[in-house]
Amino acid sequence: MQSSNLNGSRSLRASRFGALWGMLAIGLGVMACPGEAQTRTGQPLAYVTTSDGIVVIDTGDNKVVDAISGPASPTAVAPDGKHVYAFGPRTSDLVLNISVIDATNDKVVSAVPLDGSLVGAVAFQDPNAIAVTPDGSTIYVTTNFCPFPAFACHPEAAYFAVWVIDTATNKVVPVSTGKGIAAGIAFTPDGQRTYLTKYDPYYGLPQVLVFDTGNSILLPGPELGAVGPIAITPDGRHAYVPYTFFDDTLNVAIIDIATNTVIKTVLIATASLIGNEVAVTPDGNYVYLTNQGNNSVAVIETASNTVVKTVPVGTNPTGVAITPDGKHVYVANQGSNSVSVISTESNTVVATVQVAEPSAISIIPPPQGVQFLSFDARLGIHLGREPNQAAFHLWSSFILSTASNGIHPDTEPVKLQVGPFIATIPAGSFRREDNSYGFEGIINGVRLDAKIELLGGFPYAFHAKAKGANLSGTTNPVQVSLGIGDDAGLTSVEAHFDGDHQGYNAWADH
């Protein structure tokens, strides 16, 4: 999922172009010391950026479980949840780094340098957005720069660069440039189209660039303005883009992906600030948009494209992200040193986490692909005495959607998540056995046995056993997700825990 930040703490009226030239004024405090990971529930983690690094919140109990020093805003989580990508630290005035973080231990394992001299930068400005393609193979990064010394960087000298990074090699592949200020970047679920929002402060034209066609979608309005990030619905049919005019009216443009045209605009507020963030629920039914002008989050129903609720949150809400199950929305309140947790069922704040001046938030996205029509599971877990001695046994059944083209485990990758355990079984690893497919092997040092049974028609069964996994601190409910090729499912399970390994084995084999 993508995350961006346009320095939302400044008013568009008070400082039209400060977002390009200013540094983020965010706090230094965190609630866990770097490297001191705390007990985790097995639910998805929220990565919240501050000026001192990244604070990690367990969405299962809303406790801060870790802190990562160095990297900063914004961040993006790989679709398989194994890596987090974040800006920082800066090597020099002309070199920014993308930190690659191992999500299993929250350690920075690599850094990808972005050398501003490659794009003719003299003054290399702060980053704007980072996003991972749906297949996880590529990262797109946008930064702003000026081809003149800092004292000569007026609005008419605003340029942006788009860096493309290969995740297999952690190397910059191509880099391209454009005129104006880049704001956000997003991909259609099939990965076929890339959209970038930008505006030129000299001409004041908020617009969306379509990479694969080279087209530009101009956002309608009466005055000069600025554009925010972009979010695309899970079905790939529509894009939602917040943008602000110089009269400080906050609007959202709805773009039809098929025709690349604006089919509707929604007025959100008559007083707002630059830098509003947007996110779509996994079912595509609602859009959540932060409004810094009145310290709230607007809830847009996508069926009618109308605002159905306004949820008060903390001061100066910036980043927003939604849990994979779609049950909670996390909002970074930069001005009140907190993260608000909104229940999507009631659209009320149900929890508040204290974090010093947070900015962007990233959470592992839901499984990509056509969602199962139903997904039921039972789970048994044995927590060993050491972190890497846990075992689990999973029984599940699922029904494919009528929109599915069917599953082919012998030629497609299979992705499994059980709490913090994540594994991808490569394509071709399963072997056909009558009416089932089987796999036995070692994945990331964990002994894993898996079986997919064909029950006739759209129903299937999936079973998995693992030994040597790290499930330390896992508590109920435990999130389980399964992806087979282009089909996927997600559910939460009340697991059976057994501290006695012998007793667990007897129960698991029953």
- Residue 346 makes CB contacts below 8 A (sequence gap 6+) with none
Indicate the range of 3-17, 24-38, 181-195, 310-324 predicted with least confidence: 3-17
Residue 75 CA to residue 419 CA, distance in Å, equals 22
21 three-state secondary structure: helix
Instruction: Give the CATH number for residue 487.
Output: 2.60.40
- Residue 156 makes CB contacts below 8 A (sequence gap 6+) with 201, 202
Instruction: Give the CATH number for residue 152.
Output: 2.130.10.10
Residue type, 225: G
Task: Report whether pLDDT(121) > 70.
Answer: yes
pLDDT at position 160:
92
How many structural domains comprise the chain? 2
pLDDT at position 505:
52
Residue 289 CA to residue 201 CA, distance in Å, equals 23
Residue 242 CA to residue 317 CA, distance in Å, equals 14
Residue type, 212: D
Domain end marker among 320, 336, 363: 363
Domain end marker among 333, 363, 393: 363
pLDDT at position 510:
45
C-alpha closest to that of 275 among 181, 355, 344: 181
What length is written for the chain? 510
Question: Domain limits at 385?
Answer: 370-508
pLDDT at position 103:
87
Please state the rounded mean pLDDT for residues 463-472: 90
Q: pLDDT band for position 222 (50/70/90)? A: low
Q: What percent of the chain has pLDDT over 70?
A: 88
Chain centroid offset of residue 458 CA:
30
C-alpha dihedral sign at 30, 363, 86, 417: positive
Task: Report whether pLDDT(6) > 90.
Answer: no
Task: Report whether pLDDT(300) > 70.
Answer: yes
Residue type, 409: P
Cβ-contact 476, 488 below 8 angstroms: no
Same structural domain, 153 and 229 = yes
Residue 67 CA to residue 92 CA, distance in Å, equals 24
Cβ-contact 224, 13 below 8 angstroms: no
Q: pLDDT band for position 16 (50/70/90)? A: very low
Q: pLDDT band for position 500 (50/70/90)? A: very low
Cβ-contact 353, 62 below 8 angstroms: yes
- Of these ranges, 68-77, 106-115, 199-208, the one predicted with the greatest mean pLDDT is 106-115
Cβ-contact 464, 416 below 8 angstroms: yes
Strands 374-382 and 496-497: parallel
Same structural domain, 343 and 430 = no
Indicate the range of 27-41, 204-218, 459-473 predicted with least confidence: 27-41
Please state the rounded mean pLDDT for residues 345-349: 97
Same structural domain, 465 and 501 = yes
C-alpha dihedral sign at 385, 388, 391, 394: positive
158 or 230, which is more confident? 230
C-alpha dihedral sign at 354, 356, 357, 360: negative
Residue 378 CA to residue 497 CA, distance in Å, equals 12
Cβ-contact 44, 366 below 8 angstroms: no
Other CB atoms within 10 Å distance of the CB of residue 105? 11
Same structural domain, 348 and 402 = no
For the chain, first and last CA: distance in Å? Answer: 40
Task: Report whether pLDDT(390) > 80.
Answer: yes
pLDDT at position 272:
61
Q: What are the distances in angstroms from CA 115 to CA 101, 118, 246, 286, 492?
A: 20, 6, 34, 39, 43
Q: DSSP character for 149?
A: -
Q: What are the distances in angstroms from CA 467 to CA 105, 177, 440, 498?
A: 19, 49, 12, 14
For residue 266, the cross-strand partners are 252
Task: Report whether pLDDT(4) > 50.
Answer: no
Q: What are the backbone dihedrals phi and psi of residue 455, each rounded to the nearest 5 degrees, phi first?
A: -100, 0
Same structural domain, 43 and 82 = yes
pLDDT at position 396:
96
Q: Which two tokens stand for residue 430?
A: 């399963």
Q: How does pLDDT run across 420-449, given as a tens digit for each residue?
A: 888 889 989 999 988 999 999 998 889 999
Task: Report whether pLDDT(508) > 90.
Answer: no
Same structural domain, 185 and 306 = yes
Same structural domain, 342 and 478 = no
Same structural domain, 294 and 250 = yes
Same structural domain, 79 and 113 = yes
Q: pLDDT band for position 34 (50/70/90)? A: very low
pLDDT at position 76:
93
Cβ-contact 252, 235 below 8 angstroms: no
Q: What are the distances in angstroms from CA 453 to CA 130, 243, 408, 463?
A: 39, 49, 12, 8
Same structural domain, 223 and 153 = yes
Cβ-contact 439, 425 below 8 angstroms: yes
477 three-state secondary structure: coil
Q: What are the distances in angstroms from CA 469 to CA 383, 442, 444, 498, 499?
A: 9, 11, 9, 15, 15
Same structural domain, 133 and 222 = yes
Domain end marker among 363, 380, 403: 363
Greatest CA separation found in the chain?
74
Same structural domain, 87 and 119 = yes
Residue type, 4: S
Q: What are the backbone dihedrals phi and psi of residue 155, each rounded to the nearest 5 degrees, phi first?
A: -55, -35
pLDDT at position 41:
77
Q: What are the distances in angstroms from CA 327 to CA 283, 354, 393, 504?
A: 11, 21, 26, 31
pLDDT at position 207:
92
Residue type, 189: P
Task: Report whether pLDDT(455) > 90.
Answer: yes
